[in-house]
Amino acid sequence: MRDTTPLLSIVVAAYNIEGYIEEALESLLSQPCIDAMKIIVVDDGSRDQTYAAARAIVERDRGVHIELVHQENGGLSAARNTGLKSVRTPYVGFLDGDDVFLKSFGESIIPVLAENKWDIVEYNVKIIDDEGRELDEINIVDGDTRGGAPMDRAALQHFADDFHTFVWARVYRTSLFDEAPFPVGRHYEDAAVVPSTYLRASSLYRVPTPLIGYRRRFGSITQCASLNDVEDLHLNGREALARCNGGEMDDYWLTVFDKLFHRACHVCARVDRASFKQASETLSAMAVDHRKTRTTLAERSGREVVELKPFDLNVRADRSIHFLKGLVKKVLRRSLDHHQRERRSSASNQFSG
């Protein structure tokens, strides 16, 4: 008799996505290997019909594959932490409730997990729009690195250099996670969790194929920039620098900090005018943190202090380009709206005539 004991749980965090949650869950239920999976949906206090939509799918599935949890709104990290508490399978993955797994996900992942040899399985990402049309790809795995490998220093440094920290672009051995690993109330929570998770892993399997569709939605968290985002990246950076202790993984954590700092520069260039001064001061504080850590490490090892490259002018230039693009988009949008109004008026006149 074929063993159908689930190998993999997928934690689906859902908040105010009534128009997307059905497609997200159906992308899992339609997988040929669905009997090897468990779906844990956490409705994070949605104010729309997200919970009702998910409940309808659970009833249609008769509760065979889906467990539905409702909690007071606590944010994405809180929802993921709640979902992790319900995981009983050896492996776990994540899906945001407005994204989808692609058709080949199960057949690509489940046989690899069945080997019980790999701590993390990476795969590529397809960026899609609201209609599911492909916009772009994020290549976390290139075709030359397919298959399994030890999580050695080269693999760790490769991850740090690329720094694609999307938690949903991998599945993990569940034991790699502490209880409630995602920092509640913080954006860029993936960047706070995934680097440490890689350090705990001893093996890695790479699938150079897009297996998840990440939906780029206008107005989503990742499409906006705020002072809190810069401050959260600062906190992530401090945590990375705190891992530097003169040991063999210092270069890894310094690279992680460097990537976080550059992301903070990018976000700083996009905050509103009222927040820009304080966001810039936060970048300066990150630079001070970096210099202190580098100085301490240099004193221990006798190596030269490595400074961050000048960033202020680059941030201001990036900011100017960002706002110029915004103005162009506004002009194009107004032009398009005007053109559409003229077409509607013309059509109305034709019918009235």
pLDDT confidence of residue 350:
46
Do 183 and 256 fall within a single domain?
no
**In a shared domain, residues 200 and 289:** no
**Beta strands 100-101 and 91-96, pairing class:** unpaired
Other Cβ atoms within 10 Å of 196 Cβ, number: 17
Residues 165 and 243 in one domain: no
- With vertex at residue 38, the alpha carbon angle to CA 103 and CA 221, rounded to the nearest 5 degrees, is 70
Are 202 and 260 contained in the same domain?
A: no
Cβ contact 40:12 at 8 Å: yes
With respect to residue 345, please indicate whether it lies within any of the assigned structural domains. no
**347 in a structural domain:** no
Last residue of a domain, one of 179, 194, 221: 221
326: three-class secondary structure by DSSP: helix
Residues 89 and 232 in one domain: no
Cα–Cα distance measured from residue 160 to residue 116, given in angstroms and rounded to the nearest whole number:
25
For residue 184, what is the DSSP state?
T
Cα(105)–Cα(163) distance, integer angstroms: 22
Here the tokens at position 228 are: 């809190």
Same domain, 64 and 199: yes
User: Are 57 and 168 in a shared domain?
Assistant: yes
129 lies in which domain range?
A: 8-221
For tokens 């093996």, the residue is 203
Number of C-beta neighbours around residue 298 at 10 A: 13
Q: What are phi and psi of 303, to 5 degrees?
A: -80, 160
Instruction: Decide the pairing of beta strands 8-14 and 37-44.
Output: parallel
Report d(CA 82, CA 278) in Å as an integer: 34
Q: How would you label 217-248 residue by residue, b for 16+ Cβ within 10 Å and e otherwise?
A: eeeeeeeebbbebbbbbbbbbbbbbebbeeee
Q: Is residue 3 part of a domain?
A: no
Q: Are residues 315 and 191 in the same domain?
A: no
Out of 164, 187, 221, pick the residue that ends a domain. 221
How many domains in the chain? 2
Do residues 109 and 32 share a domain? yes
What does pTM read for this prediction? 0.86
Q: Say if residue 158 is in the same domain as residue 233.
A: no
Residues 68 and 211 reside in one and the same domain: yes
CB neighbour class for 208 (10 Å; exposed up to 12, middle 13-18, buried from 19): middle
Asked if residue 341 belongs to a domain, the reply is: no
Q: Is 351 within the bounds of a domain?
A: no
CATH code, domain with 128: 3.90.550.10
pLDDT per residue as tens, the chain (353 positions): 345 689 999 999 999 999 999 999 999 999 999 999 999 999 999 999 999 999 999 999 998 999 999 999 999 999 999 999 999 999 999 999 999 999 999 999 999 999 999 999 999 999 999 888 999 999 999 988 889 999 999 999 999 999 999 999 999 999 999 999 999 999 999 999 999 999 999 999 999 999 999 998 654 444 568 999 999 999 999 999 999 999 999 999 999 999 999 999 999 989 998 999 999 999 999 999 999 999 999 888 766 766 676 666 567 665 665 555 554 445 445 554 544 455 445 544 543 45
Residue 313 has what pLDDT? 56
- Residue 298 is predicted with a pLDDT of 87
Domain co-membership, 64 together with 136: yes
**Rounded to the nearest 5 degrees, what angle is found at the Cα of 126, between the Cα atoms of 121 and 128?**
145
Output the pLDDT for position 137: 96
